[in-house]
Amino acid sequence: MIEVRKIESKKDIKKFVQFPLDLYKDNAYFVPPIIKDEIDIFDRDKNQVFKNAECWMFLAYKDHKIVGRVAALINHIEINEQKKSKMRFGWLDMIDDIEVTRALLNKVDELGREQKLEFTEGPVGFSNMDKAGMLIKGFDEVSTMITWYNHSYYMEHLEQLGYEKAAEWVEFKFKPPNPIPDKINRFADIIARKYDLKSLRFKTTKEILPYVDAMFDLLNKTYSNLVTFVPIQQYQIELYKDKYLPFINPDFIELVTDQDDKLVGFAITMPSFSKALQKANGKLFPFGFLHLLKAKKKNTEAAFYLIGIDPEYQGKGVTAMMFRNITQNFMNYGISKCETNPELEDNMAVQASWKNYNPILHKRRRTYRKNL
């Protein structure tokens, strides 16, 4: 018999966060999150997303053993301002037993009906800045720090239960060119002269801080027309400053400004922390942070994290300026492999950015929805 329990205690939330680490204990492709960071996501005193969101957490038990988890989520900005009558679900993990999946998602459905919502969709987080999408291709590829990993049976379960495709993302891997092709150098110079643009470079993380708000404002402009978009709030910006800036090497950030020093484009890349996080196994101490520091300073792999382009400059070649400098940084640091962040499959503007790098589409992920 499967029992699904609603949880709220700190002890149970820790079990909720720990479950995928146990489920994927011997999996070579799963990348564990930092347990403390995951717990903080569900702490209403620490995560200000609860100013306009709600969350219900569930654990599934079978024979007195945890066999699954799910979080049911409501983003009130999405419902009240964007008029999307959506019950979100995320942090979905379970053993290969469709009855466990059914029992967990039934709880999400029940809450959605109680809230008089029209449909459920997931897996997603509270907002665009959280992880999103169920892996449907690339099960034998190492995950990243900004994505969820899952087995192929997750997709099979949801489709058997009547869920349909909502949104889909693609991810690419490629080898940065070395040396930089002349045509990229020439094109980047032409774009800079034509639009009177300049690249900004940084020596310290502290120098980046004055531009962070403008970067997130540009993200809102960049992605406002996409189906999954929910505006990024100021408190989320502050959270991500604290959460991710310590991981960022200033050499891996590229900003482009116009003649009035207005930000028109940026790209954030990071050394890959996947292997370091696997070694840390969810814990920063006593040695986890050392693995992360080593990965930050010495690495042969990198990942694109965020890219934003002002709509006025999209399709005008601004990415050429940024990628020229990023490629040079990769050469300086010995980066020989690179991976993109998830991009919506119909976001051709961003995908066109990789065309000169012979990209390989190696992962797909999808959200599923069902009417209530």
Q: Are residues 249 and 185 in the same domain?
A: yes
The top-scoring range by mean pLDDT among 66-70, 180-184, 246-250, 307-311 is 66-70
Averaged pLDDT for residues 48-65? 95
Give the pLDDT band (50/70/90) at residue 225: low
Q: Are residues 212 and 121 in the same domain?
A: no
348 pLDDT exceeds 80?
no
- Which CATH number does the domain housing residue 279 bear? 3.40.630.30
- The structure tokens 């207005």 sit at 262
Q: Are residues 90 and 149 in the same domain?
A: yes
Q: Are residues 217 and 193 in the same domain?
A: yes
Q: What percent of the chain has pLDDT over 90?
A: 58
pLDDT at 224: 64
370 is a domain residue: no
Q: Are residues 147 and 198 in the same domain?
A: no
Q: Are residues 317 and 208 in the same domain?
A: yes
Q: Which of 68-82, 182-196, 220-234, 306-320 has the lowest mean pLDDT?
A: 220-234
156 is a domain residue: yes
Q: Are residues 111 and 196 in the same domain?
A: no
- The structure tokens 């150098």 sit at 185
Three-state DSSP class for residue 207: helix
296 is a domain residue: yes
Q: Are residues 136 and 257 in the same domain?
A: no
315 is a domain residue: yes
Total number of domains constituting the chain: 2
- The structure tokens 């080593």 sit at 294
Out of 136, 170, 204, a domain closes at: 170
372 is a domain residue: no
254 is a domain residue: yes
229 pLDDT exceeds 70?
no
371 is a domain residue: no
Quote the CA–CA distance of 44 and 23 in Å, as a whole number. 27
266 is a domain residue: yes
pLDDT at 336: 92
Residue, of 168 and 230, whose pLDDT is higher: 168
Q: Are residues 165 and 178 in the same domain?
A: no
Buried b (16+ CB within 10 A) or exposed e, 198-218: eebebeeeeebeebeeebbeb
Rounded to whole angstroms, the maximal C-alpha distance in the chain is 69
Give the pLDDT band (50/70/90) at residue 158: very high
Out of 170, 200, 226, a domain closes at: 170
Query: Which domain, by its residues, includes 44?
Result: 2-170
Out of 123, 143, 170, a domain closes at: 170
Helix axis angle for 205-223 and 234-244, nearest 10°, is 130
Q: Are residues 162 and 186 in the same domain?
A: no
Quote the CA–CA distance of 60 and 68 in Å, as a whole number. 5
pLDDT at 38: 95
Give the tens place of pLDDT for each residue, 230-281. Answer: 777 777 777 777 766 777 788 888 999 999 999 999 888 888 999 999 999 9
Q: Are residues 107 and 227 in the same domain?
A: no
Q: Are residues 283 and 336 in the same domain?
A: yes
